[in-house]
Amino acid sequence: MASTKTATLTIRVEPDIKEALRIAAREEHRSIANMLEVLIREHCEKNSIAIGKSTTKEQPRERSE
């Protein structure tokens, strides 16, 4: 399996959000970074947001309310 490079992402969140993420990761036996990646992937799939090479050239979607 070919390895892919990862990118560093530094974010600031409220302590309560960080703690909730830590608990969610622990309950699923994941690292915090992996849990965050899973949550982002699930959000993108749910909202039809492509992940991959096409995301950088993708036009913004119109939001439905």
What's the predicted TM-score (pTM) here?
Answer: 0.69
Give dist(CA 56, CA 53) in Å, integer. 7
Question: 18-59 pLDDT, tens per residue?
Answer: 999 999 999 999 999 999 999 999 999 999 999 986 544 445
Q: For residue 64, what are its two tokens? A: 């439905």
